[in-house]
A and B are shown apart, each in its own frame.
Chain A
Amino acid sequence: MHHVLLDQWSRQSSPLHARDPRAKIILLGIFLIALATTRPDAGLTLALDAALLFSGILIAGLPAAGLLLRSMAILPFSLTFGLISWAAGDHWRAIGLVEKSYLSTVAVLLTVGTTTLPALMNGLESLGTPRLLVLVAQFLYRYLFVISEQAQHTRVAAACRHGAGRKYRRVRFRAAAGALAVLFTRSYSRAEGIHRAMLARGFAGTFRPLKPLRFHGADALFTIALAGVFILVRIP
């Protein structure tokens, strides 16, 4: 599964993995903005950006082919719009859409592939994201697999009961609605159970990371140096 793979990637160790999540979030923002404001015909800048990303993947020790392939998930969407733009005679926009959206995706994957999700969430929270939102996102990610598995069971059970016939569409529609409602109530009562269990273990309103975030001098240096590089690359 996709996110399981991301989890594995983000738990490896490398100079990029070791950096504070806040440094990586800020740099991702600067990189994306620099890329978004690059003209699509600025070939040198885009080539340098791609080279930077690629060296980032190598330094992080992530499987380059896997990451680059995974980023292609964006292509069906961007190619469709690219083709429409091309047909409308706006060739540079078409090329820009495809190449820049691909590079952005690689940049996001590189960031998420070198930062564990809890660390990313902690970083976002200490950069000012509302605590409640971060908490909800963390719970969501934790229970995504549990609830998805339950949905999978429901789906298999439904397929066993009524096969794939086209008849009785109305009945099947209602059955699907019932399955969804049951999934809803199960999720609901599971959430109550989770909360009781968490209270029993002494939950006081926040997820506490095992290792508190610390912004070292190296992180500051890393941020400033790379931000400088991104802006320098953006000049031509």
Chain B
Amino acid sequence: MHIPDNFLSPPVWAAFDALSVPAVGLMAKRAGRELEEARVPLLGVMGAFVFAAQMINFPVGIGTSGHLVGGALLACTLGPAPAVLVMTAIIALQAFVFQDGGVLALGANVFNMAVAGVLAGYLPFKLWGGGPRRKQAIFAGAFLSVLVSASLALSELLISGVRMPQPVILISVGLFAVSALIEGAITVSVVQVLERLNPRMVQKPVAPSGRAIAVLAGSALVAGTAGFLLASSAPDGIIHIGQQLGLATRAVLHAPLADYELGGFESAWLRRAAAGLAGLILVYGICAAAGRWIGRQRSA
């Protein structure tokens, strides 16, 4: 599920980089507010745990075995914001140290697996984890977290115009569904043992009373699924939209740099380079602003 560089088209990775930076910044701020200093090493060690947990194989079928992905387990134990942070750190290290996933595609990978994956994994747990359907809620969360990450990754590839014939898409969706089921089973059994070992390690969610959150969550899920179905059923249409969007982004990003379009520089590469650079500066600006803001919040 780790998308390498050059699989996504520039508008797609730039958009996801711009989306992930404030999302992770926000989660870092929330986590910073919720955590005492003592929990900071805990987050790092839990990240190492998720890495190491992938060595332990779970027998699932004839000759096959699965392993934990971990987003939902982290969300159920550490809480959503710290879990997003830990998963982001894991994905960043995988990109830099293990060459698993690209650096420009980091925003997309972080969004798929750390932001959307963890939050989708936490949602059912938050809604029903406190009630009698706790086990089912944990299962549903883990199932959703893998499926949402995978669907997002597939849709991004399709929007970027990577050719995937219908059978390939169907097979990959099937495989992802199976691994989502495995993730659900593993997460439920691990959480059950954890609760026996030390009940304080698992979060005790209080279901939100308002119906707003449920509606919001439901609509987000429906929108996500609909988007994916649309992407997989009409890839050409999506590519078209993608191109349109790409042009739009380029135009928007290009506008402030219009002065540079002098004489011989009116070539496509400069426009693209300018858009890329502008995007980079924009992302960096958001990143720096978010960082400073968080810093101020923490010291306040």
Contacts and interface: CB of A to CB of B under 8 A. Distances in A.
Interface of A: 2-3, 6, 28-30, 32-37, 70-71, 73-74, 77-78, 81, 84-85, 87-88, 90, 93, 96-97, 100-101, 104-105, 108-109, 112, 117, 120, 127-133, 135-144, 146-148, 150-152, 154-155, 158, 166, 169, 172-174, 176-185, 187-188, 190-192, 194-195, 198, 205, 231, 234-235
Contact of B92 (A137, A178, A185): A137
Interface in B1-60: 4-7, 10, 13, 24-25, 28-29, 31-32, 37-38, 40-49, 51-53, 55-60
Nearest to A169: B59
Contacts of A148: 48, 51-52, 55
Nearest to B96: A112
Interface stretch (B115-123, B162-170, B203-211): B162-170
A186 B6 CA distance: 40
A71 B49 CA distance: 26
Interface of B: 4-7, 10, 13, 24-25, 28-29, 31-32, 37-38, 40-49, 51-53, 55-60, 62, 68, 77, 85-86, 88-90, 92-93, 95-99, 102-104, 161-165, 168, 185-186, 189-190, 192-194, 197-198, 201, 267, 269, 272-273, 276-277, 280, 284, 287-288, 290-292, 294-295
A140 B48 contact: yes
Contacts of B276: 33-34, 36-37
Contacts of A143: 44-45, 48
Given A85-B162, A135-B40, A181-B194, A35 B6 contact: yes
Given A131-B291, A188-B201, A194-B41, A81 B49 contact: no
Given A81-B7, A176-B56, A70 B99 contact: yes
